[in-house]
Amino acid sequence: MKKLNQENLDSILIQLNDLIGLETEKCFELIVCGGSALIALGLVNRATKDIDIVARIAHGRIIDPAPLPEELVKTAAKLARFSGLPADWLNTGPADLYRMGLPQGFAQRLVARVIGASLILHYISRFDQIHFKLYAAIDRGGYHITDLLALAPSDEEITQAARWTLTHDVSSGFREMLEFLLRELDYERVIAKL
């Protein structure tokens, strides 16, 4: 399966924009997080298998990303077939982050990229990536930890991110896992601030 990276991400998005334009006159605005947003903003240099949509913008408002509009789903599937991308390369996997509540000031930090007349992507900021990556790292580890460390959060940034994660899971077990991870990543000093 083809992966998205710094060399091909822009061309894939332009192809998607062009295909959407053949199907409809609508313009889709997607809020993107995860690896593709990190790549697009030059925050990390790695490959990813997908584009994670955490929310959409419609009529100037941030809305739930799911379900994606039918025209967009069909166009993404068509592009996957002829480009070798995974079938779910454009997905709403992180929709629960939207539903549970985005970090305060999230909308003001979005970085907009107009791909074309049919597609505008809003990448989440480095600050918000720290929040999302910390949350994912707590129970999934792996590349989420690598991405988090690459973002090199300050004590204040990791503290704010940790406080936000605790609003998404209030269980004592989650807090214990968070504190363990903070110790492992050499952020033990921020635990007292939570």
Global pTM reads: 0.96
Which tokens is 92 given? 């709403």
Residue environment code for 120-153, b if the CB has 16+ CB neighbours within 10 A, otherwise e: bbbbbbbbbbbbbbbbbbbeeeebbbebbeebeb
Q: Please answer whether residues 53 and 32 qualify as being in contact, where contact means their C-beta atoms are separated by less than 8 angstroms.
A: yes
Q: CA 107, 49, 35: angle at the middle one, nearest 5? A: 35
Per the listing, tokens 């209030």 go with 170
Nearest to 134 by CA among 6, 32, 31, 33: 33
119-168 pLDDT per residue, tens: 999 999 999 999 999 999 998 999 999 999 999 999 999 999 999 999 99
93-120 residue pLDDT tens: 999 999 999 999 999 999 999 999 999 9
- State the Cα–Cα distance between residues 40 and 80, nearest whole angstrom: 19
Distance separating alpha carbons of residues 135 and 65, to the nearest angstrom:
19
